[in-house]
Amino acid sequence: MEKEIVMNNFWKDRNVLVTGATGLLGGWVAKKLYDAGANVVCLIRDEVPHSELVRSGLIAKVTIVKGDICSQGLMERVLGEHEINIVMHLAAQAIVGIANRNPITTFEANIQGTWSVLEASRRSPLVKSIVVASSDKAYGDQKILPYYEDTPLQGLHPYDVSKSCADLITHSYAHTYDLPAVITRCGNFYGGGDLNWNRIVPGTIRSILNGEKPIIRSDGKFTRDYLYVEDGATAYMMLAEELIKNPSLKGEAFNISNEQPITVIELVEKILAEMSSPLEPVIMNEASNEIREQYLDATKFKTKLDWVPEFNLEEGLKQTINWYKNFLDKFPLSIFNIFAGVLVKH
């Protein structure tokens, strides 16, 4: 069972826009907002029938707007007609491999999509809090680890650059136009509802359940932060609330992490052990244009918002494995042999 997180009455009847609601984080943010009493509006581009938003039945309880995040007119209409107070901007093309193959669509979604949301928010007097999802990838490849919030943003490859740019654009709107926007830089999210099977956690779990050896695209020694999605959703809500209470936070960036960096091979071994599987992973050593080591220092966020993650890595993996066992038991595995990029929606 998931841990209960007690929320206050802050969110009751707040009008909140969530972009990217069919994605992993977006689905959980929308769920927690709804449970806290918010009036949730979800902007989606395509229908994703097996997303958590749909699977949980939440799609019937929130307002759905279909459209492209890059449409300035659409964004202004959504914010105006639905009288949005808080914006959770989570929509993105989030897969590094897809970004390498399709840089233009990645730049459009991640950069133009961000300025579209911010410009529409600037024109909407009711918007009082905006949380923009950047990434630890925005820092690029650094010699000194962990990343701190004042570490330079120096993305090099398409996905990294798209996040560096979106991050800087948000800074610009906050400081030039006094826009109440803050930036989150998180590590790799994992948890139930991630249908991008080329990501290491869902891909490994699915392989094991299918009796197949899990595939590691890299040499297994790449080091990352992994943040359980429910902790991430709670952190985003805390930050949006704090920004309204303390407007001086506008323009600031916050690293959010459980500060437990781990190599890919170690993560896969933890999943194998938790699932009592004797399978051995296949190491392809084919990764390219990816940062080898990255992890975050989250002292600023933990201190300013008194945040402590509810789940450590082991607890989060147990929750995630159980979710996929239940989910994949209901649907043939063959249904989900879908290229991951199809499921990254705005």
Active-site amino acid positions: 159
Strands (E), 99-197: 129-133, 181-186, 188-190
Give one word for 106, left, alpha or beta, with left for phi > 0 and alpha for psi -120 to 50. Answer: alpha
What stretch of H or E contains 269?
helix 264-274
Whole-number Å distance between alpha carbons of 322 and 340: 21
Other CB atoms within 10 A of residue 179 CB: 18
Token representation of residue 282? 């296949």
Residue 307's contacts (CB-CB under 8 Å, 6 or more residues apart) are 235, 238, 256, 301
Token representation of residue 3? 């841990």
Bridge partners of residue 41, in order along the sequence: 17, 63
What stretch of H or E contains 242?
helix 229-245
Whole-number Å distance between alpha carbons of 258 and 267: 15
Residue for token digits 């800087």?
Answer: 168
Bridge partners of residue 259, in order along the sequence: none
